[in-house]
Amino acid sequence: MALITSTEMFKKALEGHYAVGAFNVNNMEIIQGITEAAQQEHSPFILQVSAGARKYAKTVYLVKLVEAAMEDTGLDTVLHLDHGEDFEICKQCVDDGFSSVMIDASKLPFDENVRETKRVVEYAHDRGVVVEAELGKLAGIEDNVNVSEADALFTDPDQAAEFVEKTGVDSLAIAIGTSHGAYKFKGEPRLDFDRLAKVHSLMPDFPIVLHGASSVPQEFVEFCNKYGGEIPGARGVPEDMLRKAATMGVAKINIDTDLRLAMTGNIRKVLFEQPDVFDPRTYLKPGREAIKNMVAHKMRDVLGSSGKY
C-alpha cells in the first residue's frame, strides 16, 4: 500500500461514468470510518485535508494516521490538500508528502489564477504530485437568479478549457450551483447541467471536480435535531443530481458536511440517552460507525464507485 496520485483513478472513473468520493478528514475516527467503508465496498477514495483540519490536528498527525490506515487496510489512497490558499501552502504539503494538492485561487482574476496555478503545477509536477485548481464562484442558484448573474458567478466553459490549456492542471473544480456547508439552496435545488455539459464536451477526457456536494439527508438533520441539535432548514444537493453529474465528466465529488451530520447525530444520541457516559470511546465508536455507513452509502448509491477498486 502506498500514497498514489489520482491520475489512474480519474481515468477509470471517466471511462466508467462514475465518480470518486473525496472525504475530508480531521481525526482518527473519521479516517478509520472512511477507509473501512472503502475496504468493505472495494471502492477507490480520496482523503482530503483542509486548512482547518491542519490547524486542528496538525499535518504530521494526519499524514501518519493516513499512513496507518493504509497499512491497516492494505489500501492505496490519495492524500489531497483541500482548498490550498496560496503557493506556499501547496509547496508545504507537497514537501510534507501529500500526493495531490488543490490551489484555490478562484477569488483572483482569471490571469492571476492562471499564474498562481501554473506556479503550483510546476513545483508539484516536478515532484510527482498532481494539482487541482478552481475556476468560478461556489454559490447556490437562487430561484430568481437570472442568466447574467449566473454567468458572473459560474464557470465559463470556454475559460475553463483555456485555463486547463494554460496551466497544465490535472483536474478542475467548477461552479455550477453547488456551495459548501449545510444550507445550499434558498429555493428548489438546481444545478446548471447545461454548463457542465459544455465543459465536458470541450474537454471530454478531463476530470471535473464538484465541491459542496453533500446531500444533507433530511433524516440525518432530523436525527441531530431529535437529540438536541438545532440545524433547521438545512438542505443539500439531491443524490440523483450527483449521480447524473458523475456520468458527465465529474470524476471527483467532495463530501464533508454529510459526514459531520452523521457523526454528530450519533454522538448526540449516546450523550442524550446515556447522560452518565463520560468515556469518549463510548460515543466516538458509534460516531466512527456512522461515518463508515454514510461513506459506504455514498460509494454504493451515489458515486457508483463500489467494486471499482
63/69 Cα distance (integer angstroms): 10
- Residue 51 in grid coordinates: 486548512
For 281, residues 6+ apart whose C-beta sits below 8 A from its C-beta are none
Cα-based angle 15, 19, 22 (whole degrees, multiple of 5): 140
Q: What would the x/- binding string for ligand G3H be over residues 58 to 87, using CB under 6 A?
A: ------------------------xx----
> Catalytic pick from 72, 76, 82, 156?
82
86 catalytic per annotation: no
SS3 assignment, position 192: coil
Residue nearest to Zn ion (CB): 211
Q: For ligand 13P, which is the closer residue by CB, 202 or 213?
A: 213
| Least distance from ligand 13P to the Cβ atom of residue 180, Å | 4
Nearest to 217 by CA among 199, 235, 196: 235
Q: What would the x/- binding string for ligand G3H be over residues 30 to 49, using CB under 6 A?
A: --------------------
Q: For ligand G3H, which is the closer residue by CB, 14 or 31?
A: 31
Tally of helices (H runs) and strands (E runs) in the chain: 13, 8
Nearest to 35 by CA among 5, 4, 8, 74: 74
259/287 Cα distance (integer angstroms): 10
| Least distance from ligand G3H to the Cβ atom of residue 82, Å | 6
255 binds, among ligand G3H, ligand 13P, Zn ion, none (CB under 5 to 8 A by kind): ligand 13P
Q: For ligand G3H, which is the closer residue by CB, 81 or 124?
A: 81
Q: Which residues bind ligand G3H (CB under 6 A)?
A: 24, 50-53, 82-83, 180, 256
Residues recognised as catalytic: 82
